[in-house]
Structure formats: structure tokens, C-alpha cells
Structure 1
Amino acid sequence: MATVTASTPRALPSGLLRHRAVHKLLLIALAAAVLVPLANARWASGSWPSALTVDLTSPLSRASDW
């Protein structure tokens, strides 16, 4: 009779952390965790920078004129 042996399953975190995509996602999450509070502290009072505001009235009016 043959003996069947199974290897012990690897722990999920150690095997998961070896993937390159997981490293990239962790880097993005870390950057978001740092940058979002900084941006919130800077622009939370309603002083939205005009450089980030786009005027869409002209393209929208041309799209509705057809």
C-alpha cells in the first residue's frame, strides 16, 4: 500500500508577500495613507486649487448643440 504524504500548507502571509503585485499594492496603500491626510489638511477648508478645476461648460455646450 502506498503512503500519501502531503506537504504542510504554507502560511498565507509569507507566501502572499512574495508576489511582486502585492508589493506594488502595499506601496500604493502606503502612499495613499500618507498623502490623503496631507491633502485633506491642505484643502479641507474649501480652498480648492484652481489648477485642479476644469471648466467643462464649453465642451458640454458643443456636445449638446449637435
Structure 2
Amino acid sequence: MPSSILLQSGGGAGAVFFLFFLVTIGLAVWTYSDARRNSGHPAFLWAIVVFLAPILGILLYILLGRN
């Protein structure tokens, strides 16, 4: 019975948001480590761009940020 109450309360939306947040953090960490090796631009700024706008940020980094 408690599992059906949990599903009715919208618990799935929180799980999806948390998963999206974890993927965004992972992309920012990967971008930072990759930019330190393969970019002439500051790696910290690329990580911030990817964290704030994940899809656009990773596309910009791949197209413009890598040497």
C-alpha cells in the first residue's frame, strides 16, 4: 500500500530531476578534465558553461573549445 501512495505523490518527477542533475554534474566534470588537456581556454569557464546550459554548453565546447 505505501508504494502506491509514493507513486501517486509524484515521486517519479523528483527521481528524473535528480538523474538529470547527476548527468549535468558528470558532463561538467568531464568537460573540465578534457578542457585542461585539450583546450587553450580556461577549463573552469567551460565547466561553468556546461553546468548552466548542458546541451548548448557541451555542443559549444565540442565545436569551439577543443584544439
Q: Shorter chain as normaliser: what TM range?
A: 0.3 to 0.5
Q: Larger Cα Rg: Structure 1 or Structure 2?
A: 1
Q: Which structure exhibits the higher relative contact order, with contacts defined as CA atoms closer than 8 Å and separated by 6 or more residues?
A: 2
> Structure 2 length normalisation: TM-score?
0.43
> Structure 1 length normalisation: TM-score?
0.44
